[in-house]
Amino acid sequence: MANKVSFSDVLESEAGRIVGSVFEENRNIKNYEEFEKAFRDKWNTPLGENAQITSDDIITLWNTSECKERIKENTTDKEYEKEYGDGIVVQRQAVSKTKVVTITYQKIPIHSHTRAGKPVKAYSKGYRKWKNLEITFLQVRKAKKISPHKIIADYNKHFKEGRTSSSLKTKLYRL
């Protein structure tokens, strides 16, 4: 019996080749919308439909280093920052099989200052909304009466974009 491999599995090993084929379709891609259109034009075949390509797969390709290098060649620094974020958190989420929503969170610069006589270095902070999956994760563990320290450790292992312990403690308290 043949070993079935999904398109998502192929992305990990052959992202460069796939991105190259998309850029053969349109060499002057400058933003996500153009990238998605070129991708769909290239893969809108019976073979592409059989691969069951999702919007999440296209977002994964868009965020690869190969794609970022090609986009950087086609855009100015300002356009590149708008697409991938510099000082801004840019997040793309698949809403359906063909629709992707782009969410941007402005980072808030905090200047250096002193707090209780101790100097605090300058930093940037940003806000991320809680997803239903994250809230459910915390609610289940709180209901099981697991210690906050253990919940924080589990959370940061489970979710790739971890949160600070302060953020997690506050959310646990509010649940």
DSSP 6-52: -HHHHHHHHHHHHHHHHHHH-TT--SHHHHHHHHHHHH-SHHHHHTT
Calpha distance 163→126 (Å, rounded) = 11
144: confidence class by pLDDT, cuts 50, 70, 90: very high
30: confidence class by pLDDT, cuts 50, 70, 90: confident
Higher pLDDT pick, 2 / 62:
62
pTM of the full structure: 0.50
Higher pLDDT pick, 54 / 120:
120
Q: What is the pLDDT of residue 169?
A: 92
Q: Which amino acid is at 154?
A: D
Q: What is the pLDDT of residue 42?
A: 77
1: confidence class by pLDDT, cuts 50, 70, 90: very low
Total residues found in the chain within this entry: 175
Tell me what the mean pLDDT of segment 69-88 comes to: 75
Which value, to the nearest 10 degrees, does the dihedral of the CA atoms of residues 40, 4, 11, 135 take?
90
DSSP 130: P
Question: Which are the contacts of 14, defined by CB distance < 8 A and separation ≥ 6?
Answer: none
Question: Do the beta carbons of residue 42 and residue 53 sit within 8 Å?
Answer: no
DSSP 129: P
Question: Which are the contacts of 43, defined by CB distance < 8 A and separation ≥ 6?
Answer: 51, 53
- HSE (CB half, 13 Å, CA atoms) of 84? 19
Calpha distance 142→158 (Å, rounded) = 16
9 backbone dihedrals φ, ψ, rounded to 5°? -70, -35
Taking 80 as the threshold, does the pLDDT of residue 151 lie above it? yes
Mean pLDDT of all residues belonging to the chain? 77
Instruction: Provide, rounded to the nearest whole percent, the portion of the chain with pLDDT above 90.
Output: 12
Tell me what the mean pLDDT of segment 117-133 comes to: 82
Token pair of 59 as six digits:
């977002």
